[in-house]
Amino acid sequence: MDATLAGITAGEQLPAFTWLNERGRILRMQCRFRAVNNKGQQVTARGRVTSVERQTDGLVVELDVWTEDQDGNQLAPGNCTVLIDC
């Protein structure tokens, strides 16, 4: 079930994790919607790895994540933790 937040659904952010595919899963994700996404606006999802820790069940990766508009303004900064199976 998606929740509508700031005019978009939280589920619309998840396609940014297609690189994870079936190799792992999102353990935790949070973001703050600072600006409204307007119709026709170009929005890009970005991320940066901040730490990697090897555990018995795989790699736990911490990321800073955000969306930004076509001018580079951050719309929804946040962070997440993913587990990558190894």
The CATH number covering residue 76 comes to 3.10.129.10
CA distance 53 to 55: 6
CA distance 23 to 63: 17
What would the mean pLDDT of 32-54 be, rounded to a whole number?
A: 88
Give me the torsion for CA of 37, 67, 28, 25, rounded to 10°: 110
Residue 79: domain span: 4-84
What would the mean pLDDT of 10-14 be, rounded to a whole number?
A: 50
Of 19, 32, 21, 22, the C-alpha closest to 64 is 32
| pTM confidence score | 0.73
What angle (nearest 5°) sits at the alpha carbon of residue 75, between those of residues 64 and 17? 45
User: How many domains does the chain fold into?
Assistant: 1
- Tell me the pLDDT band of 14, cut-offs 50, 70 and 90: low
